[in-house]
Amino acid sequence: MNNLFITGTDTGVGKTVIAGALAAVLKKKGIDVGVMKPVAAGGWDDARFLIRAAGVKDNLFLVNPYCLGTPVVPAVAAEIEGVKIDIRKIKNAYDALSKKHDMLIVEGVGGLLVPIYRNYLVTDLINYLKLPVIIVARPGLGAINHTLLTIRQAKVSRIKVLGVIINNYDEANAGIAEMTAPEVIERIGKIPVLGIVSHIEGADTEKGFKALVKEVEERVRFDLIC
């Protein structure tokens, strides 16, 4: 079974909640899913959320080998904090978790061109781990440009994109931009939109996350993921 890398068009688009919900749904389908956040900048929240969402008991330091305190791109945070990020340590944790689980969902950091360490980018890590990606995107104005830029960069970096998940869709207030973006992204990006996930109040709380998992289960094309 393919491991997956979850990237986004930007920071704060919902990579963590979508990665967690995908893990939860796959677990419901009987797949033993592990999670990983190789590098975080700003704290352990993402790794803790992913661990809870997937219901795994893996060690926090294996799931998140590098957790920097400064909420800026990891390359800058590492420099400020005097941390040397060793990609082999990430690979070792990745290999250990891959062995333990049928499938691994790996959350990126920011978007594709975020520097992890010096000039080593998220795209370099994806290539090193040889992972296909899912792009999480916002629903409204700007989504087309940001998503097509991300798809184009993936192509330039020879990264396989399985599809786009549009997240945080507010149906009641959706305008022309929200309603037309998925079709335009598919047509120009030549990449399928795997699903459109609604805005769910309190998506990062236990109750809200349950609703989000249901939403992801019903609306995301799992047949195109694995």
CA distance 15 to 209: 13
Which of ligand ATP, Mg ion, none does 7 bind, CB closer than 5 to 8 A by kind? none
In the chain, the amino acid numbered 122 is V
Which of ligand ATP, Mg ion, none does 17 bind, CB closer than 5 to 8 A by kind? ligand ATP
Pattern 111-150, binding to ligand ATP, x per CB under 6 A?
----------------------------------------
The string of DSSP letters for 121-167 reads EHHHHHHHHT--EEEEE-SSTTHHHHHHHHHHHHHHTT--EEEEEEE
CA distance 143 to 176: 12
Burial of 173 (0-12, 13-18, 19+ CB in 10 A): exposed
38 binds ligand ATP per the rule CB under 6 A: no
Active-site position among 15, 37, 84, 214: 37
Which of Mg ion, ligand ATP, none does 168 bind, CB closer than 5 to 8 A by kind? ligand ATP
**Candidate segments 80-88, 181-189, 192-200, 218-226, binder of ligand ATP by CB under 6 A:** 192-200
15 binds Mg ion per the rule CB under 5 A: yes
In the chain, the amino acid numbered 79 is E
The two tokens of residue 116 are 């992890």
Is 15 an active-site residue? no
167 binds ligand ATP per the rule CB under 6 A: yes
Cβ 40 to ligand ATP shortest distance, Å:
8
Residues that bind Mg ion (CB under 5 A): 15-16, 46
